[in-house]
Structure 1
């Protein structure tokens, strides 16, 4: 449901409804008033597009913002705990969910475990092919593309300022799948002061692999294929149709040249979540990796996850790797492939563990 009322009117209408004074509102306002949601103030470079707010319930809504850092309006979907409004003095841990390539913020609805009563879940738009990075080229057909700055320097403090969060790394997690899996690990490395927990599901987390670099190039060139078709929630099995990665951009647009010749691929290497120098930044971060090993995609994400796990082991950083292979050990819905039939039960396994870690760190 898209809210037809500006922010202040929406809040006033909700207050009148809560006081049982709906008779003071006109018939049209009474009919159109959405459930009450928190009122958000602009800030940190973000400006809300009031007419674009979507309210499904008081605990499931989407706001839309603009920012000079990324061209166009961008949606942020938020799941609140059911007790959020009833416990006005309580603060909550936060998990940021990063969607996959060709996906959007509504993909999070395909993983019911993300609707937790013990934490807030925030799902920022990551673009069809943003790769959770500040792009090398800012003048392509997609325009300004500083996704990392948008998320880490704007969205995170914006959420902390407007919702009752616990603004502490031990109470903040970042988790993603496919393209978002690499983003989750990268963000935890780029800002270990922000995130105490990181999870990658079937993530393209080893940029040293030619197959992962090829996947990035496919998104830049809008070569729709297996990665695009199954990294969105058009169907839990991944058989739905993907609309693509958006307009064609130069193959060097995000990370520059992918070819390891005379250091030409230095940006790829600097970003690479599997690079030992980057992994060493996760010494105080709780790391979880999930992957299957079936199909052309997860056969490669399994290799990437194994590489990351082995490198973490070598430098003495604890981590948890769950390779559910063909999916039989995880869920009847999982075939071990790159799809929500596996990711939804993976989140069902991960979220209770994350909730327990949040609870444990809150008492220390």
Structure 2
């Protein structure tokens, strides 16, 4: 795992520094599906298997919604890598067989195509008839259409993912292209994104899950974290003004922050499956940065839980403390692979009880 600075408060997923660039992937004997352009996306690199896998591939696209962004290491400013994990037996299944899709969103300073994200997806879906799609969200994209992108040009990440990527995937893979065939989840910044997307477009998703997500933009510590991501060169170069994403973060100019905060806008999740997973950070002396990150993420989950209860919306809440009863090797930290694997394993079991699938 990379060492995080104290100001990297939005968090990064475990092993984020270890990427699996598509150009370095090994092609397996049987090729992955071939993709066609469409819905504002242009295929730059056709699907190629990752690390010799015959289930997971990357495809690289350009998007009219986010034509250029601030790349991190291994990224190109005008290209987006998307990692897709297919179910076992996808190639051999009847052409009429359709599979549900999980969209899962990475955290701050992470990539979709890391070994950790590959492992989590493949292990959680082994033997499960579910497609998993992990799109690029940028180091600091925050899964939102930016208010003040300035000279960067459009940074419409929400449009990219919901209006372009989803129909693109449905057109190129054998999916259940309906609400009861689609779910969304995410870690840290991606947990915010998952709830944000589900609340904005509830007709698209049958289930939403947050893994240690930052869900309360009224929380001043989370606002500071988001602002910090705009100023970190490691989150993408060049850095951007602090008001680029949601506008000024202070009253009375913070209307967008308030309007986009998932915790206070849960009403549209009614009728959708909802799940949250979070630890309490565990032993503060053991990796204090990751402990604090998780402790504060938990505070935003508790606020969200209060709003869900007040709205009468059922939800699953795995509030697993120091992780000792959640998974071996999980100590309740923010970007800890054993915790995230257990989160995803449990979430997949929940959604498959609700989704339409073979």
Q: TM-score range by the shorter chain?
A: 0.7 to 0.9
Q: Does 1:48 align with 2:43?
A: yes
Q: Which residue is 2:160 aligned to?
A: 150
32 and 214 in structure 1: CA distance in 2 versus 1, 3 angstrom threshold: closer
Q: What is the distance in 2 between the residues matched to 1:32 and 1:149?
A: 31
Q: What is the distance in 2 between the residues matched to 1:204 and 1:32?
A: 37
Once the two structures are superposed, the pairs formed by residues 196-207 of structure 1 within 5 Å of their partners are 196-207=206-217
Runs of at least 5 residues in structure 2 that lack an aligned partner in the other structure: 1-20, 69-77, 282-290
Runs of at least 5 residues in structure 1 that lack an aligned partner in the other structure: 5-30, 224-242
1:181/1:204 contact within 8 Å kept: yes
1:185/1:199 contact within 8 Å kept: yes
Q: Does 1:273 align with 2:262?
A: yes
Q: Which residue is 1:127 aligned to?
A: 138
Q: What is the distance in 2 between the residues matched to 1:53 and 1:37?
A: 6
CA displacement, residues 49-75 of structure 1 (integer Å, 9 cap, x when unaligned): 13x643233421100000121111101
85 and 147 in structure 1: CA distance in 2 versus 1, 3 angstrom threshold: same
Q: What is the distance in 2 between the residues matched to 1:118 and 1:181?
A: 23
TM-score for the superposition, normalised by structure 2: 0.82
State the Cα distance separating 1:114 from its structure 2 match: 4.1
Q: Which residue is 2:342 aligned to?
A: 345
Q: Which residue is 2:224 aligned to?
A: 214
Q: Does 1:81 align with 2:87?
A: yes
TM-score for the superposition, normalised by structure 1: 0.81
What is the aligned counterpart of 1:257 among 248, 273, 280?
A: 248
Q: What is the distance in 1 between the residues matched to 2:142 and 2:23?
A: 30
State the Cα distance separating 1:205 from its structure 2 match: 0.4
What is the aligned counterpart of 1:62 among 38, 58, 61?
A: 58
Q: Which residue is 1:20 aligned to?
A: none
Q: What is the distance in 1 between the residues matched to 2:23 and 2:338?
A: 32
Q: Which residue is 2:284 aligned to?
A: none
Deviates most, 347-356 or 184-193: 347-356
What is the SS of the residue equivalent to 2:327?
A: coil
33 and 286 in structure 1: CA distance in 2 versus 1, 3 angstrom threshold: closer
1:101/1:245 contact within 8 Å kept: no
1:3/1:33 contact within 8 Å kept: no
CA displacement, residues 246-270 of structure 1 (integer Å, 9 cap, x when unaligned): 421000000001112x2x0011111
1:63/1:76 contact within 8 Å kept: yes
Count of residue correspondences: 310
State the Cα distance separating 1:2 from its structure 2 match: 5.1
State the Cα distance separating 1:34 from its structure 2 match: 5.5
Q: Which residue is 1:185 aligned to?
A: 195
State the Cα distance separating 1:350 from its structure 2 match: 1.7
Q: Does 1:109 align with 2:115?
A: no
State the Cα distance separating 1:213 from its structure 2 match: 0.7
Q: Which residue is 1:286 aligned to?
A: 273
State the Cα distance separating 1:149 from its structure 2 match: 0.3
Tell me the C-alpha RMSD between the 2 structures: 2.1
Q: Which residue is 1:322 aligned to?
A: 318
What is the SS of the residue equivalent to 1:49?
A: strand
1:324/1:330 contact within 8 Å kept: yes
127 and 316 in structure 1: CA distance in 2 versus 1, 3 angstrom threshold: same
What is the SS of the residue equivalent to 1:357?
A: coil
Q: What is the distance in 2 between the residues matched to 1:174 and 1:58?
A: 24
* Greater per-residue helix proportion: 1
Higher RCO by CA contacts (8 Å cutoff, separation 6 or greater): 2
Q: What is the distance in 1 between the residues matched to 2:340 and 2:225?
A: 19
What is the SS of the residue equivalent to 2:150?
A: coil
Larger radius of gyration: 1
State the Cα distance separating 1:356 from its structure 2 match: 2.1
1:60/1:78 contact within 8 Å kept: yes
Q: What is the distance in 2 between the residues matched to 1:38 and 1:206?
A: 39
State the Cα distance separating 1:307 from its structure 2 match: 1.0
